[in-house]
Amino acid sequence: MEGGLWRIEGKWLERQVSIPVRGKIVVTWDEADWFTMVTKLIFPDSDRQEISYRCRGRLNRGERQYSYALKQNILGRIEGEGWLADRSIVQRYWVLSDPSKRTGFETFYQLEEDTYHLCGGILAGHYITSTIEALLKRQA
């Protein structure tokens, strides 16, 4: 995913309730192939708490796999891995020191150069607890 400001708009599904979600991601890259993603999700017209996190990872040039760590305001410390396919980015993560053994996944499918479709979910054990489906558009 290219550096810059990305806008998010879509739906969050939790226990059969669909909630509008909006937000932004700021992606930055440095010269040593490290990336940082700072994300904030809000739920307009809802009393649901916003979700914010900061992710840091490294993708070596020419590689298709990477690992990352992040800190989220609700789930806490998280580690994950990602794979780059031809038109998508697939990520899997796990929440550290979590008695519920929560894990999650995200797929960013590239629709156009500056547009991705995001689909993801959070699981507790074997059960899906929430999903997100949204469009990401990079701002010029």
Dig out the tokens for 73 from the structure. Answer: 């305001």
Domain boundaries, the chain: 4-138
What is the predicted pLDDT for the residue at 32? 86
pLDDT of 91 reads: 97
Instruction: Look at residue 18 and tell me whether its pLDDT is greater than 80.
Output: yes
Q: What CATH number does the domain located at 4-138 have?
A: 2.40.128.20
